[in-house]
């Protein structure tokens, strides 16, 4: 069964710094897809970035990038030049390629506070 673990419950950083949020996963599949989502204070969940397991290059979108370490089953989210509006809860998620039940399994989330 697939499992996603985010051990950091909350992080606080100063504005304009870089932050890394950790995520480790468990899967029996050789092919899978990893996602990061952001939930704002209003409750809205927004897709940020994705990493396909068969790709060696780390994905980058805007000021979000990933640190994909496949041997460690780890997919860290890096936010550079953080802004106040980056304050939110960040969820790591995984979907396996196979499996009878198509589902996106989420981690417990990491709450990020960006301080001025």
Partner 1 sequence: ETAVFQTPNYHVTQVGNEVSFNCKQTLGHDTMYWYKQDSKKLLKIMFSYNNKQLIVNETVPRRFSPQSSDKAHLNLRIKSVEPEDSAVYLCASSAKDRGNTEVFFGKGTRLTVV
How many residues are listed for the chain in this entry? 116
Q: Does 39 bind partner 1 (CB under 8 A)?
A: yes
Told to check if 33 binds partner 1 by CB under 8 A, we report: yes
Residues 48-87 close enough to bind partner 1 by CB under 8 A = 50, 52
Nearer to partner 1, 38 or 76 (CB): 38
Toward partner 1, which CB reaches closer, 14 or 47? 47
Q: Which stretch binds partner 1 (CB under 8 A): 21-29, 66-74, 77-85, 101-109?
A: 101-109
Q: Residue 75 Cβ, how far from partner 1 at the closest point, in Å?
A: 14
Q: Using H for helix, E for strand and C for coil, what is the string for the chain?
A: CCEEECCCCEEEEECCCCEEECCEEECCCCCEEEEEEEECCCCCEEEEEEEECCCCCCCEECCEEEEEEHHHCEEEEEECCCCHHHCEEEEEEEEECCCCCCCCEECCCEEEEEEC
* Residue ranges in contact with partner 1 by CB under 8 A: 33, 35, 37, 39, 42-47, 50, 52, 89, 91, 95, 97, 100-106, 108-109
């Amino acid at each position: 069964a697939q499992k996603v673990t985010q051990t950091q419950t909350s992080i606080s950083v100063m504005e304009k710094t870089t932050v890394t949020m950790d995520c480790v996963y468990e899967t029996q599949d050789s092919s899978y897809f990893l996602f990061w989502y952001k939930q704002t204070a209003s409750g809205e969940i927004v897709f940020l970035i994705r990493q396909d397991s068969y790709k060696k290059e780390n994905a980058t979108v805007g000021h979000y990038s990933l640190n994909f370490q496949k041997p460690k089953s780890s997919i860290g989210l890096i936010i550079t030049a953080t802004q106040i509006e980056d304050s939110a809860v960040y969820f790591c998620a995984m979907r396996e390629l196979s499996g009878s039940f198509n589902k996106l399994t989420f981690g417990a989330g990491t709450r990020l506070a960006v301080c001025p």
